[in-house]
Chains A and B, each alone.
Chain A
Amino acid sequence: DAKTTQPPSMDCAEGRAANLPCNHSTISGNEYVYWYRQIHSQGPQYIIHGLKNNETNEMASLIITEDRKSSTLILPHATLRDTAVYYCIAGYSTLTFGKGTMLLVSP
């Protein structure tokens, strides 16, 4: 798996968009970009993934740069329940978790 770099923490006001960046400059051609989150003491929850194109689902949007060296996870209207550690992973069949970004959503 390619190494990823994420800011250790971010803050977001409730109702605003949360934009979480991830750098994966060594990603290889067949590796996907995955995003998971882990709410305190729970198992990681799959959010979204993509290869080249931007993706959107009911939880979030994923924007991948054209050179695939970085991506941004967008939570369009953050709520208090979105407070969690967000992991960006570049890989294929197995997942290598980094330290992630602790997102704190405040009222």
Chain B
Amino acid sequence: SAVISQKPSRDICQRGTSLTIQCQVDSQVTMMFWYRQQPGQSLTLIATANQGSEATYESGFVIDKFPISRPNLTFSTLTVSNMSPEDSSIYLCSVPGGRGRTEAFFGQGTRLTVV
């Protein structure tokens, strides 16, 4: 299984500011996924980030609000821009299991509180 490290693990931010979340994987992966989990809710896919191309966003999520970078095959960042209290959630990155494997593995998440 892939080892995924997310930073920061948690943060408290002022409304109107932005936070960049980092996701580092211990192996090269083509696709990385970013999810949001709002309080008491299930996970919702924000976007799929492929190295060398623009991220693909799911319905309800836009690049201006959640810009994603994917500079190489082991790293990605998700920025939550112009934050409001409604952005308070756990943000998780995920990667596929590797060659020939379809299951996915998740980081421990970034718990964001916007005040």
Contact = CB atoms under 8 A, between A and B. Distances in A.
B105 interface: yes
B42 A46 contact: no
Interface in B84-115: 90, 92, 94, 96-97, 102-109, 111
Contacts of A99: 42
A46 B92 contact: no
A32 B96 CA distance: 14
B1 interface: yes
Interface in A77-105: 87, 92-100
A42 B105 CA distance: 12
Indicate the size class of the contact surface on chain B: 20 to 34
Contact of B42 (A43, A49, A94, A98): A98
B36 to A, nearest CB: 11
Q: Chain A interface secondary structure, helix, strand, loop or mixed?
A: loop
A43 B92 contact: yes
23 contacts: A32-B102, A34-B103, A41-B111, A42-B108, A42-B109, A43-B4, A43-B108, A44-B94, A44-B106, A46-B103, A46-B104, A49-B103, A93-B31, A93-B96, A93-B102, A94-B33, A94-B45, A95-B45, A95-B94, A96-B45, A97-B35, A97-B43, A97-B44
Interface of B: 1, 4, 31, 33, 35, 42-45, 48, 90, 92, 94, 96-97, 102-109, 111
Given A41-B109, A95-B33, 10 more contacts: A32-B102, A42-B108, A43-B107, A44-B43, A46-B1, A49-B103, A95-B94, A97-B35, A97-B42, A100-B42
